[in-house]
Amino acid sequence: MPTTRETVLAALHARLNPLAAVVLRDEVLPERIPAAGLIILRDGQPGEPEVTLSPLRYHFQHRAELEVVVQAGTGRASAFDDLIAAIGAALEADRTLGGRCDWVEPEAPASVDLPIEGAAALKAAVITVVLHYTTTGPLA
């Protein structure tokens, strides 16, 4: 039986899969970026939980990361903005990931342009997604 942590991360991955961009989990950046863009979900860190004692519960604010990358010619900024907006809409449509966590809260992206020798530059950002969930133990 998967842990709560894995259940929540798998639900986040599944929530992003219907987007036009290719969605990977904990993969290396491929040599070619798909035309619709690329999202790589990094598991991130669960952090220090708050603990309640009766009943014993661990309340995590897990910080997962989405690496968002677009490589398009002239419409790179627009394609990047569209992908960021689509991620936001997907998360806002179900803030509990089907009841698997208490709340999902994305943070604002800080984007960068990455030049690629002999190819169109990449526009990329890391979006931290805070996943609030509760477990019965630190390893549950």
Is the predicted pLDDT of residue 13 greater than 90, yes or no? yes
CB neighbours of residue 82 within 10 Å = 16
62 and 43 Cβ atoms separated by less than 8 Å: no
The domain total for the chain is 1
pLDDT, tens digit, 9 for 90 and up, residues 31-43: 889 989 999 999 9
Q: Find the mean pLDDT for residues 27-32.
A: 90
Q: HSE-up of 36 (CA within 13 Å, CB side)?
A: 10
SS3 content of the chain, % helix, strand, coil (to 5): 20, 40, 35
Whether residue 140 is contained in a domain is answered as no
pLDDT, tens digit, 9 for 90 and up, residues 73-101: 677 889 999 999 999 999 999 999 999 99
User: Quick one: pLDDT at residue 116?
Assistant: 77
Residues 6 or more apart whose Cβ sits within 8 Å of residue 101: 8, 11, 131, 132, 133
Whether residue 114 is contained in a domain is answered as yes
Domain holding 34, by residue range, is: 4-135
User: Quick one: pLDDT at residue 84?
Assistant: 97
pLDDT, tens digit, 9 for 90 and up, residues 98-120: 999 999 999 999 888 887 777 77
Mean pLDDT of the chain: 94
Verdict on whether the full-model pTM lies above 0.85: yes
What CATH number does the domain containing 90 carry?
Answer: 3.30.70
Confidence of residue 131 (pLDDT cuts 50, 70, 90): very high
Whether residue 32 is contained in a domain is answered as yes
